[in-house]
Chain A
Amino acid sequence: MVDGTFIIEKSVVIIVVFAITMIMAMYSTWAERKVAAYLQDRVGPNRAGWGGLLQPLADGMKLFSKEEFFPNTPNKFLFVVGPAIAMSTALMTSAVIPWGDKLHIFGRDVYLQATDINIGILYIFGVLSVGVYGIMIGGWASNNKFSLMGAIRAASQMVSYEVAMGLSIIALLMMTGTLSLKVISEQQSEWHWNVLYQPLSFLIFLICSFAETNRTPFDLAECENELIGGYHTEYSSMKMGFYLFAEYASMFISATIISVLFFGGYNYPGMSWMVENAGVNPANLLGIAVLFVKICFFIFFYMWVRWTIPRFRYDQLMNLGWKILIPLSIINIMITGIVILRHDIAVYLGF
């Protein structure tokens, strides 16, 4: 099974996915400014290139050419490792995401997924939980009180929302019966999107993804008026850029996961008709386009929320996580269980 072409095929898929993640993260920074400008009735970046399209490149140039500053810390190595972990975990998640069903190229079916492991969702959770280290190690190695406070805030927030996130996913998994993202996408063909069956689970998952990516209503880790800059106060130049970039990359990835888990992934109504009438390749290319439309909508949604809802207070954040979202998701699990076993229960009760 493992032959040369297989390795080449997978390498191409991996490199393309990597490039797309980077480009999407890059243009998310541009989109964030544009969306912010639009919501605040401003113009936004419009000097570098048409409509400011070269702005991300200019930003990158600026970050690279800035002075590399090291704070007075005994842990120079860990100081560098922090952003590296943040960046690599943000990019690792995309390995299990199915970007499309398959393409028929050179007489072979190319599956548009880097790897299909049967623990796909757990893999994502594992990588997410490792991502906390990037923030914690970076914040601690900065040798600065505010950085440490920011790091601890970020980490405790991520750890507590991971619980609710995992529980909300369990209800979904009870329905799908698999952890493989490929199978979950296939189950949602046509209009059988999971969001229609599990709206509560989707809502909890969405809120938790905001917390996991440290985006605004939950960006207490870097609230300027209390903690200066949060865990990346002491960072400058490209190390700072890595943290920011990791944030946008993980925003892209979490938008992708939401679309794949709840909004049918690459499926669109009439896909099987397209496969029959227009061929495999056009139908699946359209599927990829549809997936990216969904992703872009969710990225826009992230930004929309950022400029609409003010930040929570820290105790409100923890109350929301532990006292509202976790009980809600447990109730959701119970309801899902009852609905799945409704026939057995009816038989047991003698109907």
Chain B
Amino acid sequence: MIHIPDFAHATTVQVIFCFLAFITVITAFLTIFSRNPIHSAIYLVICFFSIAGHYLLLNAQFLAIVHIIVYSGAIMILFLFTIMLMNLNEQREVHRPRITRLGAIVSFCLICVVLIAIFINSKPIVGEYDSTGEDFQSIQVLGKILLNEYMVPFEFASILLLVAMIGSVLLSKKEKLNK
């Protein structure tokens, strides 16, 4: 079970974690609730940064920096691009039919049930951690493991990305031809 220590006895890491978690949750909610789409995107960027902070707390430097480069540095910038160029009106409330809202509520409740069930039934790690003596935050070790032990999944993931890339290029080309 998760231990929540009282504030006076919290270690530095716990204090930082609480702070980061607070930012993460708040900005995630603000992403959904803010009216202006650009503000939503910026809140999402802040959210990503705080998640990178969580990775740093877990001693995963590489993951943290790659998260920043990929999500904040590339994906969210392209998002902002599109939103800025689409010139969305901030006051315009999109009309959603009642059935969609109902569906959204039902699926949200189902996801909540699943998540709560997972949290209740999840057990803490049984036994001790294996100490291999290897520094898993160094990218040298990470690279060796990725390209030796997990070679096949790694290649599959890259093929998946390649296919997605080709697909998106194809989609944008098709649109041009139809015009």
Contacts and interface: CB of A to CB of B under 8 A. Distances in A.
Interface in B68-108: 68-69, 72-74, 77-78, 80-81, 84-85
A126 B68 contact: yes
Nearest to B45: A133
A78 interface: yes
Nearest to B72: A130
Size class of the B contact interface (CB-based, 8 Å)? 20 to 34
Contacts of A118: 61, 137-140
Contacts of B140: 118, 177-178
Given A117-B61, A152-B84, A152-B85, A122 B77 contact: no
Nearest to B135: A118
B65 interface: yes
Contacts of A125: 65, 69, 73
A136 interface: yes
B81 A156 contact: yes
Contact of A152 (B74, B81, B137, B138): B81
A159 interface: yes
B65 A137 contact: no
A126 B77 contact: no
A129 B81 contact: no
A132 B73 contact: yes
B77 A123 contact: no
Contacts of A177: 140
A155 B61 contact: no
Contacts of A148: 84
A342 B95 CA distance: 64
A160 to B, nearest CB: 11
Contacts of B73: 125-126, 128-130, 132, 162
B68 A132 contact: no
B169 to A, nearest CB: 12
Contacts of A130: 68, 72-73
Contacts of B65: 119, 122-123, 125-126
Nearest to B49: A130
Interface string B45-73: 10000000000000001100110110011
Nearest to A166: B69
B61 A119 contact: yes
B21 interface: no
A78 B42 contact: yes
A119 B81 contact: no
Name, among A126, A159, A179, the residue most crowded by chain B CB atoms within 10 Å (CB to CB): A126
A245 interface: no
A344 to B, nearest CB: 15
Interface string A109-146: 00000000111001101101110110011001000000
Interface string A71-92: 0000000100000000000000
Most buried by B among A119, A125, A148, A155: A119
Contact of A140 (B38, B72, B74): B38
B69 A122 contact: yes
A27 B74 CA distance: 33
Nearest to A140: B84
Interface in B92-136: none
A341 to B, nearest CB: 14
Nearest to A148: B84
A132 B73 CA distance: 8
Contacts of A123: 65
Contacts of A119: 61-62, 65, 139
B49 to A, nearest CB: 9
A156 B85 CA distance: 13
A129 B85 contact: no
5 closest A-B pairs by CB: A129-B73, A126-B68, A122-B65, A126-B65, A126-B69
Interface of B: 38, 42, 45, 61-62, 65-66, 68-69, 72-74, 77-78, 80-81, 84-85, 137-140
Given A119-B62, A152-B85, 4 more contacts: A118-B61, A118-B139, A162-B73, A179-B139
9 contacts: A117-B61, A118-B61, A119-B61, A126-B68, A129-B69, A129-B77, A132-B77, A140-B84, A178-B140
